[in-house]
Amino acid sequence: MESYNPSEDPGPAFCVGHHEHNRLISVTSEVIQQVHESNYDMMTVPITTSHFHSRVLGLLSNYLATLQSPSYDSIGTMATTQNTRPLVIPPLSKTDSYLTPNDATSQLVGVTSSWIDLCSPDPLIADLSRQVLMLEVAYAAFCGIGYLLIPGPKLHHGALHSEGVIYYARAVQDALKLGPYIQFHIWLQMVDNPEAEFDTMGDLAPLARAEYLEPDEGVSLKVDPFGTWDAWDAIRKTCKYHTRLFVALAMPKQLPSLYVQSRWHSEPVHLLTIDASSFLKNQKGYPVLAKSHQALIAKMMRLRTAPWILLCGVGPIPGLEGIEGSGVGQSQLSGSDYPSLSQANKKHNDPTPHLSYIRNLQQRQPPRTAIERFGVGYQDYLQAPLQPLTVNLESITYEVFEKDPIKYEWYEKAITKALRDWADQKKPTSHPDGKVILAVVGAGRGPLVTRALKASAEAGVEIDIWAVEKNQNAFVLLQRHNETIWDGKVTLVQSDMRSWKGPLVRRQQTKGAQEPVGDTLGIEDSLLYSPKKGANDPGRASESRGLGVTHTHVDIIVSELLGSFADNELSPECLDGVNDLINPTHGISIPASYSAHFTPVSAPKLHADVVHQTVSNPAAPETPYVVMLHAIDFLSTADSPTGVESSSSNNGNRASTPSASFTATEFPTPNVQTAWSFSHPNLHIPPQSPMQSTISNAHNVRQTRLSFPAQNRGACHGLAGYFETVLYGDVELSTNPVTMDAKSANMISWFPIYFPLKTPLNVPENGEIIVTMYRQTDDRKVWYEWMVEVYALERTSTSSAKATPAAGNSRVGSPSVDGLKAKDNGAKPNSRAGYRRVRVGISDLHSSIKDGCLM
Ligand SMILES: C[S@@+](CC[C@H](N)C(=O)[O-])C[C@H]1O[C@@H](n2cnc3c(N)ncnc32)[C@H](O)[C@@H]1O
């Protein structure tokens, strides 16, 4: 691997913009130049002016003055019809907007009016708001604005909560059509805090007529941690996961729990807005962000599409002070615990202290981890899994494998240990002269052969080494390596391992003969035999073509045929083919075992990609994909971080989170469970029936049904799959986010696998997700089937647990392969005392049979 110097890693680039609530300028190229000179990358601009705002208010007030109060028709449909004469806002005039199409427009983020209320229960207000938005979007599109920031939905109207979100979603859907080249960002708070949702002067919301409002019974509303996420979920679902629809997320001064943060991390947050009031001051009075904020920004910045940062209310852009707006933001700075901007400026002589802080934060980003550097461009990118059994891999693919800094190291360790144990335990070998016979099956370009030779030297145990490979192109390279690197020590066999008859050794003439086997080129001639299944029993010590040589067993068989879900590249089927070749009493397989693991996830980006692929490929949602998972949220977690800066006890890592990030604020550890496992050599392969022409693969069928408690509400888009493998003894590899750091940190060979759901399933708070999965075979190919059910828990008695039922039943971590037998991992229905499960959602039974792996 190339040498890497973390200090030279530029880290993620921050794109930082400036937002002023009331910007009253026409944006020209000179203004943009000033923006750049101040070290900002972009700025926002309102689409319309306060003149337009006043015009709409005047229009409404005149209209209401002449309007009779709405009346119900005979069947009382007042609430479902507008029941008013239409009020139409005339088109924009030149005083309604400062915006003009020019060269500067592409550097701007347009902001639509925040004083409208698309969610209003009063149809007049909702319709007027819709008209305002449409006028603004149409004019922004005309001017060539590429990015729009739309204030999020108002969720509270007296006693009504979230009722109007669908009206809002409907309006956004129309806006997407009206501005076909605009990227829309819905500006949302991280949590739904009713108290923070207040009206200001000139807002349309308080003008809703009383007859449309539910009387407010004075019930105090609580903060709903997932309330704004819920609204976003409804909006993007209505807009069918539109590719131009994103989130602009406001970072509050006090961040919500890590559950909520992790949810937003999985969503398409393309703008992160930070108000001056969210900054703290350091001892010198300089604006800084809390550790928790820094950690969240660091995580967000490592996403495939890093969000832009928008600084709000941090004072004017230097050089534009004279022409900037009212400075609404500046007044927010004069809170009790915060120095006024002029104080700060005087102290530090820095006209943009908030920006300087963010630029400094950018410099302090931790260097990227090995897997991050390796996976650049692959984050959240769907790839079809490899089929190395039926397709011959290209040299470049092997080259990518060979860059792994851990895998080969660990194999070498495992082989060294196995050889040492063999020698220490004085086990007899299969070779007449006492060498340990070691075969690398599926040798590729030979890296494991090199490692096996090193291991032999390290352990001081002599080996007779064989390399079997079916890829004829890779075989050419193996021949070359044997001449140039391995000194002709390796006997090469070009064959499918399932038809290989085993190593050939000279029949023992004299005890202790030391002669190695194989001709000078080191290519075994057994590939000239026509392979016949079943005639492959080296136990017979068959004599070959009267040359005085005989087939014997392999003492240690080394392979690496694992896929992202352990068995999905048909390692079990391939190794079954060499099972009989392994020394029946002492034989070792490296790996000794492997297991498949999964957990349900929310993965909106992947879901959107699968939906879009379905247009040309109906099998897209039936395909398990290899993906470097980043923008995902684990729906079932094993512990309960308690939010703001207090989660230091959580040492678990998350697949999508670089270990280099701030550990005190790690996202919750996922609840990853074991689906099934395979062990080699397999002593339990049933004898084949002589009546059948094909070999039965029934013993490699697997089935599991696992239950995942889900603490918070969310949307399940699919399953994230991983594997663990025991190479030998305590030498293990893992991609499971719960165990990977302990077992094989920094391994890069495998990305996780993603099993999508055609239609996302909503999961209620304290719900339960049950996954049923199969590994199926028809003796010609292997495929997977998966199905997800969602249950709500209904309380049946008041005596039950004080803790929430989901948290109380979490399964922690996942056992190692060795521990599997003891564990009952079947889902236990109705196991939570005091609760009854009610099924609220069920997916299709998905099947990858069409793209199954050919055996
Ligand atoms: C994942 S690659 C590993 C290559 C190499 N051992 C390494 O670790 O870099 C798997 C290799 O096994 C070979 N292979 C897969 N199935 C095989 C079979 N049934 N018989 C022989 N070779 C096989 C493939 O051609 C490929 O070269």
Q: Any idea what DSSP says for residue 554?
A: B
Distance 747 CA to ligand 1 centre (A): 19
Does the Cβ of 848 fall within 6 Å of ligand 1? no
| CATH 3.40.50.740, domain 395-560, yes or no | no
Q: Does 356 or 213 have the greater pLDDT score?
A: 356
Residue 618 token pair: 């109906």
Say if residue 516's pLDDT is above 50.
no
Pocket test for ligand 1, best of 393, 536, 695 (most atoms within 8 A of CB): 393
- DSSP strand pairing (287-288 vs 436-441): unpaired
What is the residue with the minimal CA distance to atom 11 of ligand 1?
442
**Residue 540 scores a pLDDT above 90:** no
Whether ligand 1 lies within 6 angstroms of the CB of 393 is answered as yes
> 436-473 pLDDT, tens per residue?
999 999 999 999 999 999 999 999 999 999 999 999 99
Q: How far apart are CA 272 and CA 308, in angstroms?
A: 6
Give the model's confidence band at 103: pLDDT under 50 very low, under 70 low, under 90 confident, else very high.
confident
The binding site for S-adenosyl-L-methionine comprises 398, 407-408, 469, 496-497
Taking the centre of ligand 1 as the mean of its atom positions, its distance from the CA of residue 397, in whole angstroms, is 12
**Residue 681, preceding bond cis, omega within 30 degrees?**
yes
By C-alpha distance, which of 314, 198, 191 is closest to 252? Answer: 191
84 vs 430, residue with greater confidence: 430
Instruction: State if residue 562 touches ligand 1 by the CB under 6 angstroms criterion.
Output: no
**What integer is the mean pLDDT of 601-623?**
95
Q: Residue 687's pLDDT is what?
A: 85
- Could you list the residues known to form a binding site, using ranges: 398, 407-408, 469, 496-497
744-803 pLDDT, tens digit each: 999 999 999 999 999 999 999 999 999 999 999 999 999 999 999 999 988 886 654 444
Q: Distance, CA 729 to ligand 1 centroid (Å)?
A: 23
Please name which of 372, 463, 369, 456 lies closest in space to residue 416, comparing C-alpha atoms.
456
- Ligand 1 pocket, residue 591 CB under 6 Å: no
| 835 membership: H or E segment, kind and range | strand 835-842
* 498 Cβ inside 6 Å of ligand 1: yes
Nearest to 148 by CA among 278, 40, 244: 244
Res. 843: pLDDT tops 80: yes
* Residue of 687, 647, 638 whose CA lies nearest to 666: 647
Residue written as token pair 């009331």: 22
Euclidean distance between the first and the last CA atom of the chain, given in angstroms as a whole number: 33
| Confidence band of 508 (pLDDT split at 50, 70, 90) | low
Is the pLDDT assigned to residue 696 strictly greater than 70?
yes
Type of residue at 400: V
pLDDT value at residue 618: 93
CA-closest candidate to residue 195, choices 219, 167, 215, 223 = 223
pLDDT-based confidence at 348, cuts 50/70/90? low
DSSP secondary structure, 679-694, as one string: ESS-TTPPPPPTT-SS
Cα gap 473→758, rounded to integer Å = 39
Locate the ligand 1 atom nearest the alpha carbon of residue 570 and give its number: 16
**Looking at residue 823, what is its pLDDT?**
43
Highest-confidence range of 22-31, 211-220, 554-563, by mean pLDDT? 554-563
Calculate the CA 584 to chain-centre distance: 43
Q: What pLDDT, in 10s, does the model give residues 24-58?
A: 777 888 888 889 999 999 999 999 999 999 999 99
Task: Report whether residue 654 contacts ligand 1, using a CB cutoff of 6 Å.
Answer: no
Distance CA 81, CA 759 (A): 32
> Is the CB of 386 inside a 6 Å radius of any atom of ligand 1?
no
Q: Which DSSP state fits 695?
A: P
Percent of the chain with pLDDT over 90: 66
In the chain, domain spans: 9-368, 395-560, 593-640+667-682+697-854
Q: Do residues 232 and 165 lie in contact, with contact meaning Cβ atoms separated by under 8 Å?
A: no
464 touches ligand 1 (CB under 6 Å): no
Q: Which residue's CA is minimally distant from atom 16 of ligand 1? A: 389
Cα–ligand 1 centroid distance for 590 (angstroms): 14
Question: Which pLDDT band holds residue 808 (cuts at 50, 70, 90)?
Answer: very low
Query: What b-and-e string marks burial along 77-87, b requiring 16 or more CB atoms within 10 Å of the CB?
Result: eeeeeeebeeb
pLDDT-derived band at 340, boundaries 50, 70, 90: low
CA distance 469 to 123: 72
Q: Is the separation of the CB atoms in 248 and 274 below 8 Å?
A: no
* Closest to 306 (Cα-Cα) out of 355, 256, 362, 260: 362
- Ligand 1 pocket test, pick from 390, 407, 441, 727 with the greatest ligand atom count within 8 Å of Cβ, gives 441
Instruction: Tokens for 276, please give them.
Output: 């001056």
502 dihedral zone (left: phi>0; alpha: psi -120 to 50; beta): left
The answer to whether the beta carbons of residues 112 and 156 sit under 8 Å apart is no
pLDDT at 770: 98
Atom of ligand 1 nearest to the CA of 443: 6
The count of other CB atoms within 10 Å of the CB of residue 712 is: 24
| Better-predicted residue by pLDDT, 804 or 669 | 669
Mean local confidence (pLDDT), 325-338:
39
Ligand 1 atom nearest to CA at 498: 19
Pocket probe for ligand 1: among 412, 449, 471, the residue whose CB has the most ligand atoms within 8 Å is 471
Q: Is 389 in the pocket of ligand 1 (CB under 6 A)?
A: yes
Q: CA dist 670 to 600, 634, 652, 708, 808, Å?
A: 9, 6, 9, 10, 15
Q: Any idea which of 169-178, 211-220, 380-389, 841-850 has the lowest mean pLDDT?
A: 211-220
Joined together, the tokens standing for residue 235 give 């909006």
Atom from ligand 1 closest to the CA of residue 496: 20
- pLDDT computed for residue 178 by the predictor: 97
- Is the pLDDT reported for residue 840 higher than 90? yes
Superfamily of domain 9-368: Divalent-metal-dependent TIM barrel enzymes (3.20.20.150)
CATH number at 593-640+667-682+697-854 = 2.70.160.11
**1 three-state secondary structure:** coil
**What pLDDT is stored for residue 221 in this prediction?**
77
Q: Is 382 exposed, middle or buried (0-12, 13-18, 19+ CB in 10 A)?
A: middle
Sequence-distant (6+) residues with CB within 8 A of 341 are 276, 314, 315, 330, 333
**Residue 562 in tokens:** 């694992």
Does ligand 1 have an atom closer than 6 angstroms to the CB of 412?
A: no
Counting every residue written for the chain, the total comes to 855
pLDDT at 343: 52
- Kindly report, residue by residue over 223-253, the tens digit of the pLDDT: 999 999 999 999 999 999 999 999 999 999 9
What is the rounded average pLDDT for all residues in the chain? 85
Query: Of all residues in the chain, what percent carry a pLDDT higher than 70?
Result: 81
Question: What is the amino acid identity at position 141?
Answer: A
CA 520 vs CA 75, 456, 525, 551: distances in Å: 98, 21, 12, 19
Burial 503-516 (b: 16+ CB within 10 A, else e): bbbbeeeeeeeeeb
Phi-psi region of 783 (alpha: psi -120 to 50; beta: other; left: phi over 0): beta
**What is the token pair recorded at 63?**
């209209």
**Dihedral sign, Cα of residue 213, residue 214, residue 220, residue 221:** negative
pLDDT at 694 over 80: no
In this prediction, residue 815 carries a pLDDT of 37
Of 673, 693, 833, nearest to 769 by C-alpha is 673
CB 85 within 8 Å of CB 67? yes
- In this predicted model, what pLDDT tens digit does every residue of 118-135 receive, in sequence order? 999 999 999 999 999 999
Give 554 Cα–ligand 1 centroid separation in angstroms: 18
Beta carbons within 8 Å of 680's beta carbon, 6+ residues apart: 557, 575, 579, 582, 589, 591, 592, 593
SS3 681: coil
CA 481 to chain centre: 39
- Centre of ligand 1 to C-alpha 571, Å, is 9
Interval between CA 746 and ligand 1 midpoint (Å) = 23
Residue with CA at minimum distance from ligand 1 atom 13: 442
Give the pLDDT confidence score for residue 546 in this predicted structure. Answer: 55
Q: Whose CA is nearest to atom 22 of ligand 1?
A: 442
Q: What is the pLDDT of residue 82?
A: 55
Residue type (1 letter), 195: E
pLDDT of residue 657: 34
Distance CA 388, CA 443 (A): 12
* Residue 469 CB less than 6 A away from ligand 1: yes
pLDDT of 811 reads 35
Q: Looking at the CA of residue 574, tell me the nearest atom of ligand 1.
A: 19
Mutate to test the pocket of ligand 1, among 574, 695, 782, 854 (most ligand atoms within 8 A of CB): 574
Instruction: Give the pLDDT of residue 196.
Output: 85
Mean pLDDT of all residues in 554-579: 97
Residue 344 Cβ inside 6 Å of ligand 1? The answer reads no
- Residues 709-718: what's their mean pLDDT? 97
Q: Which residues are catalytic?
A: 560, 569
Q: List b or e across 716-727, with b for residues whose CB sees 16 or more CB atoms inside 10 angstroms.
A: bbbbbbbbbbbb
The rounded distance, in Å, linking the Cα atoms of 43 and 262 is: 28
Tens digits of per-residue pLDDT, 816-830? 333 434 344 455 555
- In the prediction, which pLDDT does 624 show? 97
As a whole number of angstroms, the distance between CA 779 and CA 389 comes to 15
CA 392 to ligand 1: nearest atom? 25
